Amino acid sequence: MLPIASTATQMGSNKTRIFARQPAKAPPPLAWLSRPRDPRATAIAAAGQQSSRRVSKRELESHGSATDAWTAIHGVVYDITAYFRFHPGGAEILFIEAAGKDSTAVFDEMHPWVNVAWLLKDYRIGLYAPESEDDGGDDDDDDRTMTSPE
Ligand code: HEM
């Protein structure tokens, strides 16, 4: 009895501490919606709103750091740098599973109900076109060249 009671007390005090200060992990989900205005988002939104800009696999992979991270979900590329610290599942898992990659499979596995297109609408970069390397290409690209007839 005693150990349980003291564990409960401990848990209670931890909880109080967590609620009294900043959340230990991520802020509550709705905090994202009332975040301060972000110049980066404004710039991305202005450039990307109607964007049919195609992002190659190589370009996606080049945005894989904590300070500059893109991910592809359902064929759309988003800048997730600002979202890391707001992600309800934690920043670290988002970084590891998504930065610089196509994260559609893990995203759908974790939370297919999350409306990423809406949550990250100001961070939409363009369309993911892994097969169309426009910058020299890797082995599995479509091999189009400047001289080929379109
Ligand atoms: C960039 C796109 C993503 C967005 C906008 C997003 C958003 C969210 C949201 C809104 C929740 C809370 C869901 C709920 O409570 O119903 C959540 C939870 C979570 N997310 Fe993500 N997420 C993203 C990507 C990912 C990825 C790539 C992973 C990789 C594993 C992931 C793992 C998780 C986990 C583990 C949770 C906690 C689930 C739980 O507590 O039951 N998320 N995410």
Centre of ligand 1 to C-alpha 49, Å, is 24
- The response to whether residue 82 sits with its C-beta less than 6 Å from ligand 1 reads no
Atom of ligand 1 nearest to the CA of 80: 1
- Please report which confidence band the pLDDT of residue 19 belongs to, taking 50, 70 and 90 as the band edges: very low
Centre of ligand 1 to C-alpha 25, Å, is 13
The whole-angstrom separation of Cα 150 and Cα 146 is 9
Q: For residue 58, count other CB atoms closer than 10 A to its CB.
A: 15
- Domain containing 107 equals 27-128
- 15 or 91, which is more confident: 91
The whole-angstrom separation of Cα 98 and Cα 28 is 21
Structural domain count, the chain: 1
Burial 108-129 (b: 16+ CB within 10 A, else e): eeeeeeeebeeebebbbbbebb
pLDDT digits (tens, 9 = 90+) for 23-39: 457 888 889 998 888 88
Q: Which of 148, 143, 146, 124 is nearest to 46 (CA)?
A: 124
The whole-angstrom separation of Cα 96 and Cα 76 is 19
CATH (domain of 79): 3.10.120.10
**ipTM rounded to 2 decimals:** 0.93
- The response to whether residue 71 sits with its C-beta less than 6 Å from ligand 1 reads yes
User: What pTM did the predictor assign?
Assistant: 0.76
Q: Compute the mean pLDDT over every residue in the chain, rounded to the nearest whole number.
A: 78
Give domain status of residue 35, yes or no.
Answer: yes
pLDDT at 145 over 60: no
pLDDT of 148 reads 42
Give domain status of residue 133, yes or no.
Answer: no
Q: Give the three-state DSSP class for 47.
A: helix
pLDDT of 134 reads 61
pLDDT of 88 reads 95
